[in-house]
Structure formats: structure tokens, C-alpha cells
Amino acid sequence: MGPSVDLVPSSEHFPVEAEVVVIGGGIVGIATALALVKQGVKTVLLEKGTVAAEQSSRNWGWCRRTGRDIRELPLINASMRLWETLNETTGRETGFRRHGIIYATRTEAQRERHLRWIAQAKQYDIASQILSPSQLAERIPGLKANFAGALFTEADGRAEPQKAAPAMAMAAMEAGLNLQQHCAVRSIERSAGRVSHVVTEHGEIKCQSVVVAGGAWSRLLLQGCGVEIPQLKVLSTVLRTRPLEADVSSCVSLGSVALRKRLDGGWTVASSASSVVDITPDSLRFMRPFMPAFKVERASLKLRFGPRFIEEALYWRPGQADKLSIYERIRVLDPAPDRALLRQMIVDLKQVLPAFSGVQVAQSWAGLIDTLPDAIPVISGIDKIAGLFVATGFSGHGFGIAPAAGQLMADLVQGSTPIVDPAPFRFSRFTDGERVHAQHWL
Ligand SMILES: Cc1cc2nc3c(=O)[nH]c(=O)nc-3n(C[C@H](O)[C@H](O)[C@H](O)COP(=O)(O)OP(=O)(O)OC[C@H]3O[C@@H](n4cnc5c(N)ncnc54)[C@H](O)[C@@H]3O)c2cc1C
């Protein structure tokens, strides 16, 4: 089971129309809805399960510029400015704090990469630095491992995934959002070449625009409209500990293990070196566009062939207006964590940080990360269907960037001046001949 998330009540009345329907109550859909209602746009958000029950509550909570794809830097800068004010503007605790992010460096080649990234990030006013081994030891007292130093960004931060999206959803409702949970969208309907309404399990909602912010489900939702997006899923395992005192204020990645202090006094711990990829029919379908990224990341990816292949081959179909859909069958994607990895994470943690020798695991979970071949999101309109927009494919780093990603999506829907240049995030990059590639800096 996933972590327990702050509860958000649904709106009382089921709507029959809206200017914009947002599909997906993860942090991206909620940030989009929040930005829209603040501009006075009549918005409905539909969530098949409950707010933030999938990736948006299961993540590490890092709000990171460090080592980010250069194309995303203007957006993450805008996002960090929004995070800074979110506690105040939502009137609630999102857990956002600036305590820095540290990536320990293992090899000389990695240090060279970090230096090249710093040089490029400077043009976006990002003041990251290389820490020497002794500076790293000062920042993480008791560290017991031989690192060649670290990449450090003091102005980076963290927030609480189990609180942030719910806080934003409550603020959006206060500003006029109609939020419906346990309300799966079965299909997005069109008339005369443009979006006309969505069909949900509880009835139809007329609208002028639809934003698909369905995380790992976006591919299927778009397939239902005849739009193909090359999206796959990666399973990542996380644990949270009981409260424990340790002098580590920044979010840190120490070789194979990554950790962050939580507001409840515990720690969110994960592996920064290993994830699982279940082979599915989509893995075969999208093997070609993903191959370059796979070749670079293969040491950290465990390929697995098992029941998920059959499950997806048999049941993962786009919804039909008049039939029970897969979105209703699977209210919350709740994959089992990788048990062997959980054991290894604890061994690694105790080894590098003896302060954790008495650590007690309170809970563990896994999440399915939705990813695209170039590991940056699509935040874009779909040219061939007027009124259809997509914000998805955040590829394992959408939590930190979500506040500004939602603002950008709202700007595009409204046709107002975008918060940053949206070109890198356009959907058409997969079809207009651009050489789509991922950047690997960490
Ligand atoms: C283990 C893990 C660690 C991560 N660590 C970080 C990190 O430290 N920092 C960071 O920035 N990012 C991190 N990420 C990535 C981040 O969590 C995601 O990029 C982000 O949460 C994506 O948000 P989303 O709203 O797009 O998707 P989701 O949170 O997955 O939300 C999509 C929602 O859409 C709903 N939905 C789908 N289909 C339908 C439908 N038909 N009808 C109605 N609702 C529907 C789903 O139920 C779901 O709630 C991590 C992810 C994981 C899994």
C-alpha cells in the first residue's frame, strides 16, 4: 500500500459542463487546475482514485535543479519561485524547505560531467558547486565512504509529497475548482474536429478543452483519441523510516542510496542506483525510441518479464463510453516494492551513514514512473485535435517542476503569454524530425 496522503473532499455537485476538464489528480493536474481557477476559468478536475494516490505521493520529495536536463532549467527556476510562496498562497503546509541537494561523485568521469553541467547551468543563474571530499564530509558528518566530492546546489529544496498536492487541491477548490474523485474518465469525445465532452463513469461533462495529466495512464487516454505517445513505466522502490536523529539537512544521493529528512522526523530512503522495468507490449512497441536512453541507463535497470506483460496485453485498452474501463478496475496503481532492493538499501544506508545503524523501517512502497524517450515532459496542445492538451511524461522528476508546469499548461490552454518558452515540451517533437535524446548529467 502507498503512503497515507492528506485527504481532500470531493466537490458536492457533479458538473455537467466546464470550460476546461483536467484529467488526473496528481500534482501536475492539480497545479494546472490551480493556475486555471486563479485566472477565473471554470475548471473541473476528474480523478479515478483519490488525489495524489499514484506517483505524486510516492516520490522522494526532492525539488531539484541539480543535474537537471538543461532544457528544463527555466521551468524549474520558475517552479522554485512558486514553491517558495506555496505555503502562504495555499494557506497550508506543503513541507517545502530549502536545504540543498547533494549528489556525491564516484568517478572522475562523473566529476567532469558535473563540471560541464555547472558551466551550462550558469546561464540560468544556477549557483551549483563542486564540493571537495573534505567539504562533503563537513556537510555530512560521519559519512563513511570514499567519494571524489559532490555536486551541490544550496538553493535546492524538498517538500512533502503526501501533503503538497492535497494542499494545492484544497486551495484550488477554495478558488472555484470542481473536484471529483472516484470519477474515471472513460473517453474524450470530439465533434467537428475538436474536443466536445468527456464521458466519465458518472456521466458526461461538456467542455471546450481537456488537459490529459494522467501520469502513467496518459498513453492509454491519448490512444483513445487516436494519438500515440511513446510512454513507458519504470518501477521505483521507496521506504520511510521511524523518526531518527542524524545531522543530514540536505537531500543526499550517496552512491547507491538516497535520502531526505521528513517533516515527521523520519527519513524517505530510496535507491539511486536501481529500478525495475517490466517488459510489456509497449516496451516492444517503443523499443526503438527508448533504445539510446536504455543503453546509457542499463546498469541501473533490472528488466523483468512477468505477469504485467499478460495483464497489459489483455486488459490495458482505451476506455469506451458505455463500458466499465480499466481506469475503474485499477483505481490506484499500487505495485509491490522490490523486496531484495529494500534489504540492500538498508545495508547500504548503514554502511555509508553509521548514524543510521539503529534505523527502523516504518513502511515501504513502490511507484510507477511514467517516462518518455528524452526524459523531459510533454506540456503541449495536440495539433490535430483542437482543445486537446497534454501534460505528462515527467520521467521521474515531475514533483519539483510541477507548480510551473501547471502554470505553463494553463497558459497554453488560455493562449496567454507562457511562463517559459514551451518549445522543448511540444508534443510534435516526436513527429517533426527532431533528434529526440535524453541528457544524462548525474
Ligand atoms: C518513487 C518515485 C520517486 C520520485 N522522486 C521524485 C523526486 O524526488 N522529485 C521529483 O521532482 N519527482 C520525483 N518523481 C516523479 C514525480 O513523482 C512525478 O513526475 C509526478 O508526481 C507526476 O505527476 P503527475 O500528476 O503527472 O502523475 P500522477 O501523480 O501519477 O497522477 C496521475 C493521476 O491521473 C489519474 N488518472 C489517470 N487516468 C485517469 C482517468 N482515466 N480518469 C481519471 N483520473 C485518471 C491517476 O489516478 C493519477 O492519480 C518520483 C516518482 C516516483 C514514482
Per-residue pLDDT band for 433 (boundaries 50, 70, 90) equals confident
Give the three-state DSSP class for 233: strand
**pLDDT, average across residues 273-289:** 95
Candidate of 10, 22, 30, 54 to mutate for ligand 1, largest count of ligand atoms within 8 Å of Cβ: 54
For 265, residues 6+ apart whose C-beta sits below 8 A from its C-beta are 243, 244
CA distance 70 to 51: 30
Distance 116 CA to ligand 1 centre (A): 30
DSSP code per residue over 284-351: HHTHHHHHHHHHHHGGGEEEE-SHHHHHHHHH-----TTS--HHHH-SS--PPP-HHHHHHHHHHHHH
pLDDT 10s digits, 404-419: 999 999 999 999 999 9
pLDDT 10s digits, 77-127: 999 999 999 999 999 999 999 999 999 999 999 999 999 999 999 999 999
Distance 55 CA to ligand 1 centre (A): 3
pLDDT 10s digits, 117-154: 999 999 999 999 999 999 999 999 999 988 999 999 99
Ligand 1 atom, smallest distance to 394 CA: 19
Q: How is residue 415 written as a grid cell? A: 493562449
Cβ burial of 336 (10 Å; 0-12, 13-18, 19+) is exposed
User: Is beta strand 232-241 parallel, antiparallel or unpaired with respect to 361-371?
Assistant: antiparallel
Mean pLDDT of the chain: 97
Candidate of 28, 59, 238, 240 to mutate for ligand 1, largest count of ligand atoms within 8 Å of Cβ: 59
pLDDT 10s digits, 309-334: 999 999 999 999 999 999 999 999 99
pLDDT 10s digits, 41-90: 999 999 999 999 999 999 999 999 999 999 999 999 999 999 999 999 99
Q: What pLDDT is stored for residue 145 in this prediction?
A: 87
Candidate of 56, 212, 409 to mutate for ligand 1, largest count of ligand atoms within 8 Å of Cβ: 56
Distance 28 CA to ligand 1 centre (A): 8
**pLDDT, average across residues 339-352:** 96
**pLDDT, average across residues 348-353:** 96
Residue 273 has pLDDT above 90, yes or no: no
**pLDDT, average across residues 178-194:** 97
Distance 117 CA to ligand 1 centre (A): 27
Residue 244 has pLDDT above 90, yes or no: yes
In the chain, the domains with their CATH numbers are 17-430 (3.50.50.60)
Residue 279 has pLDDT above 90, yes or no: yes
Per-residue pLDDT band for 175 (boundaries 50, 70, 90) equals very high
Distance 125 CA to ligand 1 centre (A): 28
**pLDDT, average across residues 27-32:** 98
Q: How is residue 338 written as a grid cell? A: 522490490
**pLDDT, average across residues 220-236:** 97
Residue 188 has pLDDT above 90, yes or no: yes
Indicate the residue type of 72: E
What are the C-alpha distances in Å from 225 to residues 233, 315, 337? Answer: 21, 18, 33
8 A C-beta contact, residue 141 and residue 247: yes
**pLDDT, average across residues 288-317:** 94
Q: DSSP code of 47?
A: -
Residues with CB under 6 A from ligand 1: 23-29, 46-49, 53-56, 58-62, 184-185, 213-217, 221, 236, 238, 327, 367, 369, 392, 394, 396-400
